[in-house]
């Protein structure tokens, strides 16, 4: 099976053309995403045909579970689909040389705009849809009287967290801290938040520190993955929570260990995510 590996701000993915192909994708994800015994990646992205969009993207985490949304994965998917000419439906877009693509996901249809330089897609901007705040949309268990849920108190042993809870098509719990994020014990706290009983489907956990009105630094513990160098839907969740708390304005740069992502949210409409995308290598899976 031939594959390509791509990355966006350090968030890396293996992409395969699964159109008209039957396969155990979950099993493949568990094998191919292993860092030492496989190719190594934060997820497996499978291209499929769609009846409602140009293409369909299926996302499998390294543990074989499915993800509803994946912002950086969607951006890498668009680069792969355009450069490999996997669809004839790509529209030229409003600007010459910047094609647009619609992609079906479990979270809905994502709209993407690619920026091309030297016949290569170098930057992709995607619509991540509307943030969702109702407990059943995230989802979370328990009675919550105030929506949106901001700085919700959660106690883990001796540690107290203030979590802002929302969905970007997948669940997110955002915690703002005053110390540099590198000092936060994410490896210890992340799994506990991810699998806390209040999140029946698990959750992605982000910690973020405000640097100024337009810039934050962050780290993320992804559900079914562990810590990753960046997270697109996580960047969107952080921005939405920060704006609702009046920490930031409309346009924000989220600085992850793997690089920066640009997020735009006007406080009402869809969240826009942009950032660089790069090809890493192509190969053939022999197992």
Residues taking part in catalysis: 70, 231
The answer to whether the beta carbons of residues 270 and 240 sit under 8 Å apart is: no
The answer to whether the beta carbons of residues 149 and 180 sit under 8 Å apart is: no
Question: What is the number of H-type helices and E-type strands within the chain?
Answer: 4, 17
Cα 103–chain centre separation = 14
Q: Which residue has the tokens 């985490």?
A: 61
Q: Which two tokens stand for residue 237?
A: 């969740």
Stretch (H or E) spanning 114: strand 108-117
Q: How far is CA 140 from CA 106, 120, 143, 203, in A?
A: 19, 41, 9, 9
Ranges of H-type helices in the chain: 25-32, 71-83, 186-194, 232-244
Nearest to 7 by CA among 80, 65, 110, 64: 80
Separation of alpha carbons 39 and 42, rounded Å = 10
Q: Which two tokens stand for residue 160?
A: 């107290």
């Amino acid at each position: 099976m031939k594959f390509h590996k791509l990355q966006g701000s350090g968030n890396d993915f293996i992409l395969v053309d699964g159109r008209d192909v039957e396969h155990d994708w979950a099993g493949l994800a568990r094998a191919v995403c292993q860092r030492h015994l496989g190719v190594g990646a934060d997820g497996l992205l499978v291209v499929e045909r769609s009846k409602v969009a140009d293409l369909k993207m299926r996302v499998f985490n390294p543990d074989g579970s499915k993800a509803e949304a994946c912002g950086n994965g969607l951006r890498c998917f668009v680069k792969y689909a355009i450069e490999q000419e996997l669809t004839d439906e790509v529209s030229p877009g409003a600007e010459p040389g910047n094609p647009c693509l619609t992609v079906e996901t479990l979270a809905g249809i994502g709209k993407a705009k690619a920026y091309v330089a030297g016949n290569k897609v170098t930057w992709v901007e995607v619509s991540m849809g509307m943030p969702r705040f109702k407990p059943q949309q995230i989802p979370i268990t328990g009675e919550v009287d105030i929506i949106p849920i901001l700085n919700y108190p959660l106690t883990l042993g001796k540690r107290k967290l203030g979590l802002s809870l929302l969905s970007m098509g997948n669940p997110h719990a955002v915690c703002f801290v005053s110390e540099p994020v590198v000092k936060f014990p994410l490896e210890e706290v992340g799994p506990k938040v991810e699998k806390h009983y209040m999140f029946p489907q698990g959750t992605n956990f982000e910690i973020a520190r405000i640097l100024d009105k337009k810039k934050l630094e962050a780290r993320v513990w992804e559900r079914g993955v562990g810590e990753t160098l960046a997270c697109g839907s996580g960047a969107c969740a952080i921005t939405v929570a920060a704006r609702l708390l009046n920490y930031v304005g409309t346009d924000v740069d989220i600085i992850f260990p793997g690089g920066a992502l640009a997020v735009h949210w006007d406080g009402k409409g869809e969240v826009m995510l942009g950032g660089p995308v790069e090809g890493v290598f192509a190969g053939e899976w022999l197992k």
